[in-house]
Structure 1
Amino acid sequence: MNGLEHRNSLQLKDKYKDADLIINARVERSEIQMLCKLVEALGHLGIVTTTNKELGEVKIQTTKDCWLELKTVLAKMPLKIEFI
């Protein structure tokens, strides 16, 4: 990688360094799988990771640009989601 490519790579990293957003949430244990499937079906809006299956705790990885749309969709899902 030459100097110009390296500088461009760093600029790209800086451009997106604050783009990721991690949302902590809690759902009923029995609803974790459904939440994962529904968010996965939305494709580009986010990814759900279970952090504590017994307590129903999950992390939703999204971006600041996608969060508003994802939050709106989550509110319309037939699941009770508590953001923690």
Structure 2
Amino acid sequence: MNRVCPLCNGIYEIKVSCPVCTNVMKDKGALVNYLDDYSPYLLDDITSKVDGVPSYKCTHLYKCPHCNSDRRIHIDRIYI
């Protein structure tokens, strides 16, 4: 069995409140996708070695559309 990020794979969504203005933040995707041009196409096994987060977690970037603050949320990968 493989572990996958439920947010990256559209299994479910979570709502995150902005710590500054309390509005709902937007999920901008996995943080590793912002490393370089090819990182969105790499396997999770590879990207988990460079982001410093354990391989059973996926870090997502959330951004507030109102005050532009951002937040990183660690999501547990699930077995499929």
- TM-score band, normalised by shorter chain: 0.3 to 0.5
Q: TM-score, normalised by structure 1?
A: 0.32
Find the structure with the greater CA-based Rg. 1
